Amino acid sequence: MTLFAWPKQAAFGRVVPKSKIYEHATVSTALKERFVQQVEQINWAYKLAPETVNLPATPAVAEIQVFRLNLKGASLDQDVLKAIDRAIPFPLIFELVQGGRIKLAAAYKRPAQKPKSDADISIVGNYLETNWCPRDTPRQSLPVALDMNGLYEQLLLHMMPIPARSEESLADAVGRVEQLRARQREIDKVAARLKREKQFNRKVEMNAELRRMKAELERLK
């Protein structure tokens, strides 16, 4: 996986109280408990903006914020990330830190075409996550881009579990990842039913169905 060397001039380094997230996002009592149980500290680590990365803003992406979350354990509910995304109006890249390891996470966040309210200003998709790696993994320079939107797309593409196809937009690539996840869930369900099935004829049918579904999965990849 790739860890990025965020520019020194982009360092922000401010601790964000969880109460501030609660104020700016709809957070239930149960979700507040998950914040307390799973997150040690939220740090607004870097602010990638035209003045800090020397790239022009675009209507879709004026700035990109890097948030570092120190976790209490290995698990983190994605609703916690989504609440933070809802509270911050800019695209976010998360660095999740737990003990001596780190990984990246982010959702494709884009402006809503016709926001119904302040809460609907942005559309936040499902999350892309890299694998865990040691915290001292060497970091690489930021991807080459022409503007802030291009930088955001490059950062997200580095987190994709599958390679992007030529001429494929980020939205299409993210959509393909969602299709892959949905197909994998279906495969897992059929595989679980197959283990419980006693009738030989049904086992043959289900094995054939599994082969077909796995072939579709490979084509999506």
pLDDT band at 125 (very low <50, low <70, confident <90, very high): confident
pLDDT of residue 32: 95
Q: What angle is formed at CA 61 by the lines to CA 155 and CA 65, rounded to 5 degrees?
A: 60
Task: Answer yes or no: do 124 and 34 share one domain.
Answer: yes
Q: Is residue 199 part of a domain?
A: yes
Task: Answer yes or no: do 135 and 204 share one domain.
Answer: no
Q: Is residue 169 part of a domain?
A: no
Q: Is residue 84 part of a domain?
A: yes
Task: Answer yes or no: do 123 and 200 share one domain.
Answer: no
H-type helices in 25-76, by residue range? 29-38, 50-53
Q: Is residue 164 part of a domain?
A: no
> At which of 109, 128, 159 does a domain end?
159
Task: Answer yes or no: do 52 and 154 share one domain.
Answer: yes
Task: Answer yes or no: do 207 and 136 share one domain.
Answer: no
pLDDT of residue 120: 52
Task: Answer yes or no: do 37 and 64 share one domain.
Answer: yes
pLDDT of residue 136: 93
Polymer length in residues for the chain:
221
Task: Answer yes or no: do 79 and 188 share one domain.
Answer: no
Q: Is residue 170 part of a domain?
A: no
Task: Answer yes or no: do 209 and 138 share one domain.
Answer: no
pLDDT of residue 114: 60
Q: Is residue 166 part of a domain?
A: no
pLDDT tens track for 35-86:
999 999 999 999 999 999 999 999 989 999 999 999 999 889 999 999 999 9
What predicted TM-score, i.e. pTM, was given to this entire model?
0.80
Mean pLDDT score of the chain, rounded to an integer? 89
* Cβ pair 64, 152 in contact under 8 A: yes
Name the residue among 34, 66, 64 with its Cα closest to residue 49.
64
Task: Answer yes or no: do 111 and 215 share one domain.
Answer: no
Residue 117 predicted with pLDDT over 60: no
Q: Is residue 149 part of a domain?
A: yes
Instruction: Read off the tokens for 114.
Output: 């016709």
Task: Answer yes or no: do 63 and 128 share one domain.
Answer: yes
* Cβ pair 88, 63 in contact under 8 A: no
> At which of 159, 186, 212 does a domain end?
159
Task: Answer yes or no: do 65 and 145 share one domain.
Answer: yes
Give 62's contacts (C-beta < 8 A, 6+ positions apart). Answer: 49, 90, 148
Q: What angle is formed at CA 49 by the lines to CA 173 and CA 118, rounded to 5 degrees?
A: 70
Range of the domain at 10: 3-159
